[in-house]
Structure formats: C-alpha cells, structure tokens
Amino acid sequence: MQIRIKLYASLSKLLPEGVKPHEGFLLEIDDDMTPNRLVDTLNIPRPMAHLILRNGTYIKPEHRDSALFEEDDVFAVWPPVAGG
C-alpha cells in the first residue's frame, strides 16, 4: 500500500531533496509495517521520533510495534518540540 510520510522540524533534513515537510512524499510499504519499523526505515533515531501522528492522531509508544497502516494514511513525525 502507499502512505504519505511527513517529517517536520529537524527531521525535515531526512526528506528527499526538494520535498517540503508539509507535502511529504508517498512511500510503498508492506501490509505488516509498524510505526517503529517505519521510523527505522526512515533512518530516524527512535528517541527523535517523539511525536508520531497517524492521520492527526497520536500513536502511543506502546502501540508503535503493533499498529498497522491503511492505504492513503498520513504518517507525520516530530522530534521533541514545544512552544506556547
């Protein structure tokens, strides 16, 4: 299946050349791909994959080895960030 990958803040440097963070890119993944395996595939150090959203909803750390994706999902990742 294909899903869209968006990498924000300092993780945006891991995006393919010329890709904007909010646009992201399409990635073909296996049906049994999990969030943590995807983080590894994208070369994101796991402590830096702090905030992971699937279609805007947070994926808890305890679900990151088991949650699965669906076609056209949006997978967005941030390092630890904050503001106010």
Partner 1 sequence: MSWTGKVLRVNLTEGTCKAEPLNMEWAQQYLGQRGLATKYLVEETDPKVDPLSPDNKMIMTTGPLTGTMASTGGRYSVVTKSPLTNCIACSNSGGFIGAEIKAAGWDMIIYEGKSPTPVYLYLENEKAELRSADHLWGKSVWDTHEILHKDNQDPELKIACVGRSAEKGNLYSAIVNDMHRAAGRSGVGTVMASKNLKALACRGTRGVGNFKDPMRFMQATEQGKKVLADNAVTGQGLPTYGTQVLMNVINEMGAMPTRNMREVQFEGAHKISGEAMHEPRDSDGQPNLSTNGACFGCTIACGRISTIDPQHFTVKDRPEYQKASGGLEYEAAWALGSNTGVDDIDALTYAQFLCNEDGMDPITLGATISAAMELYETGKLTKEDTGGLELRFGSAEALVKLTELTAIGEGFGLEMGLGSKRLCEKYGDPDLSMNVKGQEFPAYDPRAIQGMALAYATSNRGACHLRGYTVSSEVLGIPEKTDPLTTDGKAELVKAFQDATAAVDSAGLCVFTTFAWGMDDIAPQIDAACEGDWTTEKLLEVGERIWNMERDYNLRAGMTAADDTLPKRLRKDAAKVGPAEGRVADLDVMLPKYYELRGWTPAGELTPETRSRLGL
Number of residues that bind partner 1 (CB under 8 A): 27
Q: Are 7 and 42 in contact (CB under 8 A)?
A: yes
* 76 lies in the binding site for partner 1 (CB under 8 A): yes
Of 25-33, 36-44, 63-71, 74-82, the segment contacting partner 1 by CB under 8 A is: 74-82
Q: How many CA atoms within 13 Å lie on the side-chain side of 35?
A: 24
Could you give the string, one character per residue 13-52, with x where binding to partner 1 holds by CB under 8 A and - elsewhere? -------xxx------------------------xx-xx-
